[in-house]
Structure 1
C-alpha cells in the first residue's frame, strides 16, 4: 500500500463518513482494504475473519435481507402497500455506497481458542480496513445495529451457526468535508500502575 500519510495521522484523522459518491471504487483499492484487514492480530494465528464484498447488483443480497427483516418486524397489521414501502425503504440501505463489505467472524473450534478473542480479532480487522480506507482517500463507515444480528442476515451470507456477522463496512469516495474530531484527554481515562 502506497500512501504518504503516517499511521498516527490516519488514526487521528479517520472519521466515519456515511455520505459517499456513487462513483465506482477500483478493485485494487478494495483489495488493499482486504489485505490490511487480513494482517490484524489474532491469538493462536486463527485468522477468523471472512469478507463478503458486495458491489453493483451484488448489494441486492443485503437489500433483500434488510427488507425481509423489516417486513417480519413490522408493527401492527400493515397493509400490503405499507409493507412494500417499508421493504423498499429498508432495502435501499444496501445501496448507500458503491461497495459494502460484510465482515464475519468464523471462530476456530480448537479447544484452546476463546470465542471472544476470535470476535476481537475480527473487530481489529475491521479497524485496519477503516484506517486503510482513510489513508488511500476513501470514505468508510462501520455499520451494525439490530438487523445485522438477525438470523435472516446470517442466512444472506450463508453463515454457519457458530459464525457471527460483526460489521457492514460501507465504502466509497467522500461526498462531504471531513470534520475534525474531538476526544477527551487520554489522561482522564488512564490509570498508571507502577511499583
Structure 2
C-alpha cells in the first residue's frame, strides 16, 4: 500500500517528453489499468484511441479543422493552422484519446458514466507514471468540440474526456499541495 500512496503522491503533469517510442506492451499495461477502473453497474463506458507515428495525424487534422473553421481561415493562414494542428498532435510519441461511450439503460446515469471514464483516465496516468513515463491530460475547447467527436467517429451521446500525451519525461517535476487540513470538514456528531 505504501508503494501505491507514493506513486499517487509523486505523479505529476509532464508535458515535455522525449520523442522515443513507447513499447506496445507498456501501452497495453496503461490501457489495462484504465480498463480496471470502477463503473456504476459495471458498464465500462470508456473507449480508447491509441495514436502513434502517423496515426497522430487524425488528431492533428481535428485540431486544424477546428481552428480553420472557427477563424474562417483560407490559403496561407489555413496552411499555418494545419501545421500547428499537426505539431500539437505530435507533442508526444504516444497519444491516447479516451472517450466516454455511455451505456443505455434504465439505471444508468450519464454523469456516472463520465465519472467512471475520468477514474479510468486517472488509473492510466498512474500506470504511465509507474512505468517511468511522463504524461499530461489535455482537454480544453477542442477536446469537447463536435468536430473532434466526428474525427473519432463518436456518436451524439458520446463524449471525449481526455487526450493523454505520454512519453519519457525530459525533466522531472514537483509540486506543492495545500495543507490537507484546509480541505477537510469532519462531521462526527
Normalized against structure 1, the TM-score is what? 0.93
Q: CA RMSD in A?
A: 1.2
Partner of 1:184: 178
1:25 aligns with 2:19: no
Distance of aligned partners of 1:174 and 1:193 in 2 relative to their CA distance in 1, 3 Å threshold: same
Residue-pair matches, total: 188
CA shift for structure 1 position 92: 1.2
Within 5 A, what are the aligned runs for 1:20-99? 20-74=17-71, 78=73, 80-99=75-94
Cα deviation digits, residues 143-191 of structure 1 (max 9, x gap): 0010111111001110011110000000111111x22211111110111
Q: Is the 8 A contact 2:68 2:74 kept in 1?
A: no
1:125 aligns with 2:128: no
- 2-side partners of 1:134 and 1:78: how far apart? 39
Partner of 2:11: 14
1:149 aligns with 2:141: no
Q: Is the 8 A contact 2:62 2:85 kept in 1?
A: no
Q: Which runs of 5+ in 1 are unaligned?
A: none
CA shift for structure 1 position 78: 4.8
SS class of match (2:163): strand
1:138 aligns with 2:133: yes
Normalized against structure 2, the TM-score is what? 0.96
Cα deviation digits, residues 72-131 of structure 1 (max 9, x gap): 111xx6551122112211221000001100000011110111100000000000000001
Cα deviation digits, residues 44-94 of structure 1 (max 9, x gap): 1100011000011111110110001010111xx655112211221122100
Q: Which runs of 5+ in 2 are unaligned?
A: none
Distance of aligned partners of 1:112 and 1:47 in 2 relative to their CA distance in 1, 3 Å threshold: same
1:107 is aligned, of 102, 106, 127, to 102
